[in-house]
Each structure stands twice: as C-alpha cells, then as structure tokens.
Amino acid sequence: MNIELNRNEDWMKLKWSEVKQHLSKIKMGGGKNAIEKQHKRNKLTARERIEFLCDTNKPFVEIGAFAGFEMYEAEGGCPAGGTVAGIGYISGKQCVIVANDQTVKAGAWFPITGKKNLRMQEIAAENNLPIIYLVDSAGVYLPMQDEIFPDKEHFGRIFRNNAKMSANGITQIAAVMGACVAGGAYLPIMSDETLMVENNGSIFLAGSYLVKAAIGEDIDNETLGGAVTHTEISGIADYKFTTEEECLTQIKKIVSKLGAHTKAGFDRIESKQPLKKAEEIYSIMPEGNAKPYDMREIIERIVDESEFDEFKKDYGKSILCGYARVDGWAVGIVANQRLIVKSKKGEMQMGGVIYNDSADKAARFIMNCNQKKIPLIFLQDVTGFMVGSRSEHSGIIKDGAKLVNAVANSVVPKITIIVGNSYGAGNYAMCGKAYDPRFIYAWPSAKIAVMGGEQAAKTMLQIQVATMKAKGKEVTPEEENALLEKLKTKYDKQTTAYYAAARLWVDEIIDPLQTRTIISEAIHAANHQPTMAEFKTGVFQV
C-alpha cells in the first residue's frame, strides 16, 4: 500500500512540477529583453507593479495565468493572455487587480485578453470587490480585430461593465502607466479615479501619427495626451506622479480609506488545521486517475480538524454530501466518490458515476445549503451519469434533471475544484463552468471533456472507418490503429487542465496543497456580496 501511495505522490508532484515549469516561463511575459526594455524606460513590469501594490503578508491568488497557453503560436504567443490578474489585498482590503503586460505585444488585446478582462470584471461585480486597473496597452491586436472588437463579449463590453459596476457602487481605480489609446481610453475615464505617470502614461483616442494622417496636425504624444495635459488642461485625470512607485502608493492610500460594505454574513469561526497531514493530499489521487480511491481522504486534508459531517451517509454513495469548515468558514461539500463499495449484490466500483439515488441526495443537500445560507464546494471527479436500461427505467434523466435544476438555481456561492475527471453531463451536474460557479479551479490531474480520450477516439474511429468503407475504401488493421492513435493523441491534449485553463474554462491550475487556501480566499471574496436572490427551483419531475 505504501508503495502505491508513494507512486501516487510522485506522479502528482511531477504533474505539479510540470505546471510550475510552464508558469516560470509564462511569468517572463514577452521575455528577458522585453523586460529589460521596460526597466530602461523606468517602468516596472505588470508582475512587479502588482507585487509593489499588494500587502506582503496576505495571499495573492492569480487568475488566468494559463490564458492563451499554446493558442497563438503563429503570432509569437500571448503569455497569460497579455494581462496579469488576480485577487489580492491592498491596505488590508481584498481587491481584484488587472495589469496589462506591456512586454507582450505592447500589451495589445488578443481575443483571450478580452475574455480574461471580462472574467476579472465579472469576479469584481459578483463579489462586490474594488477593482484596480494598471493600464499599459497599445489597444486591440489589429490582425485579429474581427475576433475582439464588435461582438457582445468583446472589447467594448469592458466599458459597458465599467458603467454598470459604477452604478452598483463598486470602486474602480485606474492607473495609466503607459499607453491607453483609442477605445481603451474610456476605461480609466469611466473609473472612479484616474492616476497617471508623467512621461510614460498617455491617454488619447488617436496617437500623434494618426492625428498627423487624419488632420495634418504635428504634435507629440506627451503634449497630446500625457499626464500634465490631462491633469492641468483637460481635467480628465485626477493625479500625476513622476514615478510608478509614487502612483502605486497613492492607490494604497485611496483603498485604505474605502468604507466597509454590508457583508453576506457567511458563518466563520476560528480556523483550525486539518488533523490529517495536509501534504498527504498528493498521495491520494491514483496515478492516471485510473483506480478507485476514497474522496473522504481528500476532504479530510482540506477541512478544519478533518471533520466532515456526512448527509445521508448510507444513501446515494457515489456522491458524498456533508457539512464542514474550511479555514473557519462553514461550507457544504458535494463530491464524487470513486470507491469500491459492498452491497447485498456484491462489490461495485463507483467510478465517479452519478446514480439515481446520488443525484436525488445531492439535489436535496444543495437545497438545504441554500436554505441555511452555506456556500457550496464541488469536488469533481465524475465520468457522467449511469446508463443502461436499469437506470433509464428508474428515471436517471429525471433525477439528473433535478440535480441540474438545483445547481443552476442555487444562489449561495458555488466554488468548484476539478480534481480528476470532469466528463459529459457530470460536468454540468457538478457545477462546471456553464453553471456559474463563483470560482472554478483545476488540479494538474484534471481532465475535462465529453468523454475520456480513449472512448472518444474509439467512437470517432468507428464513424470514420464506416464512412471510408461506405466510399469503397479498404482500411487495413494497421491503418485503423494509426488512425486510432492519432485521434487519441488529439483528444487527450484537448482534455488536459492546460487546454481548459488556456481557454478560461477554469480560472487557474492550482497546487493540490493550496486547495484549502484557495477555497478560503474564494469565500472571503464572496462574503463581500451584501445580498443574494431568493432561492427558487423550476419545474421538475418528482
């Protein structure tokens, strides 16, 4: 048993090591030369700005570090989507921070950049958190303008959100530390307060070259839209500073004076560490997620004093439901179970499958948590709903719909951690991205897809071979095997945590050991939301 645990631990730590290797490269942004160029202009990098701004004794939870990962290779790449972002503490107050990375294509907006910025605004709006914009961007990446400019969830939505958040009393502060051009010029002006750095920060609808081409006027960028111009002539900006450090210090002062808002009131008591060793969390998930294991072992290394009060413990055993505390916060946990269990009919491997009774139990538990105002934590390792005549005749679709209904209409914060598989309708029922989790994270072992890579490849193989044979083409066993391997390789790549994080299907890939901290910070953010809608469920079969 110890050999197997050691093998599992080595595998998970290797997976996390690979994530860290990718992260170290991502954190270099546009590369060493681009960073040196930034420094020569007396400018900090996006990450250096955030580090200076945030309290050192508090966590900074980065979001979207893998945005754009391996997506824009023909354009030279777009590390972190050209934007560094996350949730940190400024002067003791939790804030959303969004910083353009000028070292990546001059901070230009790729399609994923827009999606990431909108996600950060969504987090600020949902959780009633102040949002700080550190602006240093050349605007839309023109070769891909058709994918970022005109649609509902494109670039212009940013400014619409500025207006909506302002109307809802959410503090927005913009520090212009570099270029801020064209439509992007509206973002700082639609914020509550605008700060600018002399000789580097500039705001204008059209730069000096375009002005010359459009109306024949000769003017330099600083005179056209620099800090002096906008603080002394146009009145657009509120503060000007000679250094970035002075500018960032002023943001700290502004945030320190923000008044407190009414909190949601989620219950929290003194935090207590798990009784079971937290670092053992690496050894629980089987290598390749191929064997059964007890999800309780993971839960007991996340929750306070390893105490998990199970709801309907002996019913619907393929989903665990129960109450616990994470860093003092009261939570309700809904988790898939892959353990082999004994019944009157013999042993049965759960395999992460959702059965009728499990769906029924989880739906009831979710309703209870909404009634009690307890945030929900979903731990996903699910292969889908049970199929076959027995399940269909028992009404698996009815019970599944009941669970989906409860998840969709839940009004308490939902935080999803994908620890293993996340396949098919199981992804939906366990609060996947489409069901508006307040935050959604993935372990390095996560896999997200309609079905597993091998099953999907075999399904596609049958279709393709049948099509080829229908056209009169003979397919040899060797050709069939080669085609299967090609399909499997492609599908396996599309199921990885990297692929999901690149497209922001998950907010970040996290170290399993940090799961407890991540959940606590997520609930802390959600607790800033003063009111919640009334919990209602729609019509469903009983």
- C-alpha Rg value of the chain to the nearest Å: 25
AA identity, residue 497: A
For residue 31, give both structure tokens. Answer: 């590369």
Q: Which pLDDT score, from 0 to 100, does residue 418 have?
A: 98
Report d(CA 54, CA 187) in Å as an integer.
22
Please list, in sequence order, all residues whose beta carbon lies within 8 angstroms of the beta carbon of residue 392, skipping any fewer than 6 positions away.
none
What pTM, to 2 d.p., does this model score? Answer: 0.93
Could you say which residues of the chain have pLDDT below 50? Answer: none
Residue type, 71: M
Coil vs helix vs strand at 417 = strand
Kindly report the number of other CB atoms within 10 A of residue 18's CB atom.
Answer: 13
**In this structure, is the dihedral angle defined by the CA atoms of residues 450, 454, 457 and 459, taken in order, positive or negative?**
negative
What helix, strand, coil percent values describe the chain, rounded to 5?
Answer: 45, 20, 35
For 487, list phi and psi in degrees, rounded to 5.
-65, -40
Instruction: For residue 174, give the H/E element and its range.
Output: strand 172-181
d(CA 186, CA 204): 9
**What value, to the nearest 5°, has the Cα angle with vertex 463 and ends 387 and 453?**
60
N-terminal to C-terminal alpha carbon distance within the chain: 44
Please tell me the distance from the alpha carbon of residue 427 to that of residue 445, in angstroms, as a whole number: 15
pLDDT digits (tens, 9 = 90+) for 434-447: 999 999 999 999 99
Counting runs of H as helices and runs of E as strands, what totals does the chain give?
19, 20
Percentage of the chain beyond pLDDT 90 is 71
pLDDT at 344 (0 to 100)? 59
Cβ contact 293:12 at 8 Å: no
Asked whether the beta carbons of 137 and 100 are under 8 A apart, the reply is yes
How many C-beta atoms lie closer than 10 Å to residue 239's C-beta? Answer: 17
Task: Please choose, from the candidates 412, 406, 428, the residue with its C-alpha nearest in 3D space to the C-alpha of residue 542.
Answer: 406
Q: Give 521's Cβ-side CA count (13 Å radius).
A: 23
pLDDT at 346: 57
Q: Dihedral of the CA atoms 287, 432, 510, 132 (nearest 10)?
A: 170
Q: Hey, what are 177's tokens?
A: 């530390």
- Contact of 457 with 464, CB cutoff 8 Å: no
| CA pair distance 124, 442, nearest whole angstrom | 21
Q: Determine the pLDDT at residue 453.
A: 67
DSSP assignment of 26-81, as one string?
HTTTT-HHHHHHHHHTT---HHHHHHHHS-TTS--EE--TTTTTTT-GGGT--GGG
Residue 22 structure tokens:
């990718």
pLDDT digits (tens, 9 = 90+) for 485-538: 887 777 788 899 999 999 999 999 999 999 999 999 999 999 999 888 888 887
Instruction: Using alpha carbons, select from 433, 413, 407 the residue that is nearest to residue 531.
Output: 413
d(CA 361, CA 310): 11
Per the structure block, which two tokens stand in for 119?
């996600």
Sign of the dihedral defined by the CA atoms of residues 37, 40, 42, 48, in that order: positive
pLDDT of amino acid 483: 79
Do the beta carbons of residue 377 and residue 437 sit within 8 Å?
no
393: burial class by Cβ within 10 Å (0-12, 13-18, 19+)?
exposed
At 196 the pLDDT is: 97
Backbone angles phi, psi at 342, to 5 degrees: -100, 135
Residues 6+ apart with CB under 8 A from 378: 334, 335, 414, 415, 416, 417, 430, 431, 437
CA distance 403 to 400: 5
Six token digits for residue 46 = 């996006």
